[in-house]
Amino acid sequence: MLKGRAFKFGDSISTDHIIPGRFAHLRSNLPELAKHVLEDADPTFASRVKEGDFVVAGNNFGLGSSREHAPLVIKMAGVKAILAKSVARIFFRNAINMGLPVLICDTDTISDGDELEIDLAVGTVRDVTSGNQFTFGKIPEAMLRILDEGGLIPYIQKYGDFKL
Amino acid sequence: MGKTLAEKILSKKSGSDAKAGDIVIAGVDLVFVQDTTGPLTVRQFQASGFKGLANPQKTALFIDHAAPSPNNGLSNDHLLLRQFAQQTGAIISDVGGGVCHQIVVESLAKPGDVIVGADSHTVTAGGLGAFATGMGSSDVAVVFGLGKTWFRVPESFRIVLSGNFQKGVCAKDLVLHLIGQIGADGATYKALEFGGDSVGAMPVSQRFTIANMAVEAGAKVGLFPADETTRNYLAEQGRGEHYQPVFPDADAIYEQTFNIDVANLEPTISQPHTVDNTAPVRELKGTKIQQVFIGTCTNGRLEDLEIAANILKGKKCHPQTRLVVTPASRQVLVGALKAGYIQSLIEAGAAILPPGCGPCLGLHQGVLGDGEACLSTSNRNFKGRMGNPEAFVYLGSPATAAATALAGEITDPREVV
Ligand code: SF4
């Protein structure tokens, strides 16, 4: 069971909002890069987010570039899952490869700051603040196997090949 | 049952009867990274415990996003890529070579290939009939080591194009129009497959522009058939032997079909801060523009510079508007020099940057000031994209860009061509 606070974002949060190209020189210095996570969407996010929190967004989260650094810095910030109405294709795959769960659900009723409890195995989200409970879409089987190993690189370290 | 282009290519490369929705493991004909995604790929490759590259001659590293390097952090990333190429035998394209996607279509991609790049605009090579898609560094690191990856076979949308463009209207206007219609997530996880009467006559340069922006509608690939036009292009590039015809089956099943008569299109623009926020250029007439940028993997090709040079030849850019031009590759730059386009652009007031990504992603060269607006021929206008979240980026065609540079405000190119 995951427990934490919701940080609410709107629709179309791009990889440029998550880590802008102007910080490309920090991509080999991840702790420094992580200080700017989601800066162009909410400049206060990096200083407020705590271990265990959740990013909650609207439609098409993570659209744009293939930079895997985007889910990586969100994970480094302590975020345990991303909840969104929909997620861009490359971002979704990258997040799973980083071992960061992405849950597709109707996030409209979740407010900024709500306390959430997420049961990944059962597939439910409980909004403790509002009392609402809902389910999220199943993560495809092949991706679940990668997620279960903590991401693609641990998966490959273990199996040496795709065993999907 | 007939197959779409995506199903056909993935069937062949996975050795299975691939249908939309299936998960397949396919061999990869070309895998590449660029300088902002490559260093992480190299580290993930090393962490995975691979002994070497599966196919050094099918693995390429491009130094294009920050080329030449603007600071020591990026210079050290470049060093890492050069060392990796030396150790593994991978192909490397260094400073001055140009944007990865342009070099891929000029020299490396073949019809029917499966291509994976650590860059979302890898889809560009779909213009040659290659199943080309972007992935993150870890996925690409595994392709480096295994020479294959897994795919979910996408459902396809068929885009049927008919008619001829009006003067002053081109492929960029078409693709912006399409994204405006279906939305920035309208084709998420899907393949966009282009066909219809207008495609046969469409030069590959325009196919690349359209395929390049498929990802801005969320698509996994943007695919064109490989036809006589493709054959001629490959022959001109000195690699006619790389041609093979690639067409969808006549009875292929598409999730949706869109019909577009391109004769009805007019110059189109994307307004800040999303690509699907489109409008006819004429509706934005009068919007002041401080910088015009012509270049990128979308519209930095010889044909694009030709359009701009023809509009600007013998004239001067507006005194309050700077023009920055970045040819997409060395081949483009040499061609534009020979044809006199570079001279026309420089005499009109342009600053010419070396081949590469230039100001596109906002990490160097041409970063905008607070409150400034740029009309760019690139593919993205997200907040902060050109280095400053307080600035505004509009996307348009090379003709719209050149007309705007002359007038200092957004201008419909039909007024000047
Ligand atoms: S030109 Fe722009 S969009 Fe194209 S690869 Fe370079 S940074 Fe990306």
Domain ranges (residues) in chain A: 2-159
Q: Which atom of ligand 1 is nearest to the CA of B360?
A: 2
The residue out of B261, B289, B323 marking a domain boundary is B261
Q: How far apart are CA A145 and CA A151, in angstroms?
A: 9
Looking at residues B392-413, what average pLDDT do you find? 98
Q: What is the pLDDT of residues A30-61, one digit of tens each?
A: 999 999 999 999 999 999 999 999 999 999 99
Which of B399, B397, B409, B405 minimizes the C-alpha distance to B269? B397
Q: Which residues in B lie closer than 8 A to residue A89 (C-beta atoms)?
A: 188-189, 218, 220
CATH number where B280 lies: 3.30.499.10
Q: Which residues in B lie closer than 8 A to residue A102 (C-beta atoms)?
A: none
Residue recorded with tokens 């066909």: B195
Rg (CA), chain B: 20
Architecture of the domain defined by A2-159: Alpha-Beta Barrel (3.20)
Tokens of B235: 């022959």
Ligand 1 centroid to residue B118 C-alpha, Å: 12
Evaluate if residue B417 carries a pLDDT over 90.
no
Q: What is the pLDDT of residues B357-395, one digit of tens each?
A: 999 999 999 999 999 999 999 999 999 999 999 999 999
Examine the domain organization and report whether B125 and B225 are in the same domain: yes
Average pLDDT for chain A: 95
Examine the domain organization and report whether B12 and B101 are in the same domain: yes
Percentage with pLDDT > 90 across chain B: 100
Mutate to test the pocket of ligand 1, among B34, B35, B37, B99 (most ligand atoms within 8 A of CB): B99
Looking at residues B132-144, what average pLDDT do you find? 98
Q: How far apart are CA A134 and CA A124, in angstroms?
A: 6
pLDDT at B399: 98
pLDDT at B333: 98
pLDDT at A138: 87
Q: Is the CB of B296 under 6 A from ligand 1?
A: yes
* Contact at CB, A157 and B49, closer than 8 angstroms: yes
Q: How far apart are CA A115 and CA B390, in angstroms?
A: 33
The model's confidence at residue A10, banded by pLDDT at 50, 70 and 90, is very high
Percentage with pLDDT > 70 across chain B: 100
Positive or negative torsion for Cα A63, B108, B356, B93: positive
Q: What residues of chain B, 190 to 229, have a C-beta less than 8 Å from chain A?
A: 215, 218, 220
Amino acid at A106: D
Examine the domain organization and report whether B132 and B214 are in the same domain: yes
Work out the angle at residue B383's Cα, subtended by the Cα atoms of residues B382 and B388, and round it to the nearest 5 degrees: 125
Q: How far apart are CA A106 and CA A58, in angstroms?
A: 8
Work out the angle at residue B194's Cα, subtended by the Cα atoms of residues B193 and B197, and round it to the nearest 5 degrees: 150
B33: Cβ–Cβ under 8 A, 6 or more apart, which residues? B41, B42, B60, B61, B62, B81, B117, B118, B119, B137, B140
> What residues form DSSP beta bridges with B291?
B322, B374
Tokens of B353: 């940057």
* Contact at CB, A152 and B146, closer than 8 angstroms: no
Q: Is the peptide bond before B273 cis (omega within 30 degrees of 0)?
A: yes
pLDDT at B343: 98
Ligand 1 centroid to residue A163 C-alpha, Å: 34
Per the CB < 8 A criterion, the answer to whether A40 and B272 are in contact is no
The residue out of B261, B290, B309 marking a domain boundary is B261
The total of structural domains in chain B comes to: 2
Ligand 1 centroid to residue A8 C-alpha, Å: 30
Note whether A98 contacts B: Cβ–Cβ < 8 A: yes
Q: Which atom of ligand 1 is nearest to the CA of B379?
A: 3
- pTM, two decimal places: 0.97
Positive or negative torsion for Cα B221, B222, B225, B227: negative
Examine the domain organization and report whether B145 and B222 are in the same domain: yes
Note whether B16 contacts A: Cβ–Cβ < 8 A: no
Q: Judging by DSSP bridges, how do beta strands B221-223 and B191-195 pair with one another?
A: parallel
pLDDT at B45: 98
Q: Which residues in A lie closer than 8 A to residue B122 (C-beta atoms)?
A: 66
Examine the domain organization and report whether B223 and B337 are in the same domain: no
Between A40, A156, A164, which is nearest B389 by CB?
A40
Examine the domain organization and report whether B312 and B252 are in the same domain: no
Evaluate if residue B1 carries a pLDDT over 90.
no
Note whether A142 contacts B: Cβ–Cβ < 8 A: yes
Q: How far apart are CA B182 and CA B131, in angstroms?
A: 22
Ligand 1 centroid to residue B253 C-alpha, Å: 33
pLDDT at B132: 98
Cβ–Cβ contacts within 10 Å for residue A158, how many?
A: 10
B238: Cβ–Cβ under 8 A, 6 or more apart, which residues? none
Examine the domain organization and report whether B237 and B294 are in the same domain: no
Examine the domain organization and report whether B316 and B338 are in the same domain: yes
* Contact at CB, A60 and B37, closer than 8 angstroms: no
Evaluate if residue B159 carries a pLDDT over 90.
yes
Q: What is the pLDDT of residues A84-139, one digit of tens each?
A: 999 999 999 999 999 999 999 999 999 999 999 999 989 999 999 999 999 998 89
Examine the domain organization and report whether B238 and B360 are in the same domain: no
Positive or negative torsion for Cα B274, B279, B285, B291: positive
Evaluate if residue A20 carries a pLDDT over 90.
no
Per the CB < 8 A criterion, the answer to whether B234 and B136 are in contact is no
Evaluate if residue B160 carries a pLDDT over 90.
yes
Coil/strand/helix, residue A139:
coil
Examine the domain organization and report whether B237 and B385 are in the same domain: no
Closest residue by Cα to atom 4, ligand 1, is: B297
Between A24, A28, A160, which is nearest B66 by CB?
A24
Average pLDDT for chain B: 97
Amino acid at A122: V
Q: What is the pLDDT of residues B50-90, one digit of tens each?
A: 999 999 999 999 999 999 999 999 999 999 999 999 999 99
Amino acid at B47: A
The model's confidence at residue B250, banded by pLDDT at 50, 70 and 90, is very high
Best interface-test mutation with A: which of B152, B188, B221 has the largest number of A CBs within 10 A? Answer: B188
Per the CB < 8 A criterion, the answer to whether B65 and B357 are in contact is yes
Looking at residues B258-284, what average pLDDT do you find? 98
Cβ–Cβ contacts within 10 Å for residue B89, how many?
A: 12
Q: How far apart are CA B79 and CA B64, in angstroms?
A: 13
The model's confidence at residue A3, banded by pLDDT at 50, 70 and 90, is very high
Boundaries of domain holding B316: 268-415
DSSP string, B117-184: ESSGGGGGGGGGT-EEEE--HHHHHHHHHHSEEEEEPPPEEEEEEES-PPTT--HHHHHHHHHHHH-T
Q: How far apart are CA B219 and CA B229, in angstroms?
A: 24
Stated as kind and residue range, the H or E segment containing B40 is helix B38-48
Q: How far apart are CA B170 and CA B207, in angstroms?
A: 11
Q: Is the CB of B65 under 6 A from ligand 1?
A: yes
Tokens of B78: 């470049």
Q: What is the pLDDT of residues B97-111, one digit of tens each?
A: 999 999 999 999 999
Between B119, B274, B367, which is nearest A12 by CB?
B274
The residue out of B202, B226, B261 marking a domain boundary is B261
Q: DSSP character for B241? A: G
Between B138, B361, B383, which is nearest A17 by CB?
B383
Tokens of A56: 């909650």
Which of A95, A65, A91, A90 minimizes the C-alpha distance to A79? A95
Note whether B387 contacts A: Cβ–Cβ < 8 A: yes
pLDDT at A160: 96
Positive or negative torsion for Cα B142, B143, B148, B154: positive
Note whether B38 contacts A: Cβ–Cβ < 8 A: no
Examine the domain organization and report whether B124 and B38 are in the same domain: yes
Amino acid at B167: K
Per the CB < 8 A criterion, the answer to whether A70 and A44 are in contact is no
CB pairs under 8 A between A and B: 148
Please give the residue of chain A at the shortest CA–CA distance from B365. A22
Ligand 1 centroid to residue B122 C-alpha, Å: 10
Strand order in the sheet with B114-117: B91-93, B59-62, B30-34, B114-117, B131-134
Per the CB < 8 A criterion, the answer to whether B327 and B355 are in contact is yes
Examine the domain organization and report whether B380 and B365 are in the same domain: yes
